């Protein structure tokens, strides 16, 4: 199975900040990488697919990049509603695997 490793595991930031979360795959996955946001007690929400394409309705403050094994999710101008846990997932090969999550907290 492909292992997905996110860093950092947790992150404190302030409203208005720009933050970057990294996801590394244990082997190359081309651009078959998605990002999800999850708030406590809620279902995940899809943000980005194909490493850099925004899901419909997702604001442009979210952006993704990368290919192969190294990927990033960047969130600009943090707002209170952005504080959540973020997961990456590879869907290049079965089984699809998730990173362990990055908890973004308010400083």
Length of the chain: 107
Q: Which residues pair with 6 in a beta bridge?
A: 23
Determine which residue in the list 34, 73, 84, 104 makes contact with other proteins, applying CB under 8 A.
34
In angstroms, what is the minimal distance from the CB of 35 to other proteins?
10
Determine which residue in the list 55, 63, 65, 76 makes contact with other proteins, applying CB under 8 A.
55
In angstroms, what is the minimal distance from the CB of 41 to other proteins?
9
Q: How far is CA 60 from the centre of its chain?
A: 14
Q: Which is nearer to other proteins, 37 or 69 (CB)?
A: 37
Q: Which residues contact 81 (CB under 8 A, 6 or more apart)?
A: none
Interface of this chain with other proteins, residues 75 to 104, rule: CB under 8 A: 87, 89, 91, 94-101
In the chain, the largest separation of any two C-alpha atoms, in whole Å, equals: 38
């Amino acid at each position: 199975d492909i292992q997905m490793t996110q860093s950092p595991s947790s992150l404190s930031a302030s409203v208005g900040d720009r933050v970057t979360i990294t996801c590394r795959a244990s082997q190359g996955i081309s651009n078959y990488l998605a990002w999800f946001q999850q708030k406590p007690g809620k279902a995940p929400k899809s943000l980005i697919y194909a490493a850099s394409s925004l899901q419909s309705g997702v604001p442009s403050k979210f952006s993704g990049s990368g290919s192969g094994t190294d990927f990033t999710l960047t969130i600009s101008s943090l707002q209170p509603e952005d504080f959540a846990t973020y997961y990456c997932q590879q869907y290049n090969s079965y089984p699809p695997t998730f990173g362990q999550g990055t908890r973004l907290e308010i400083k």
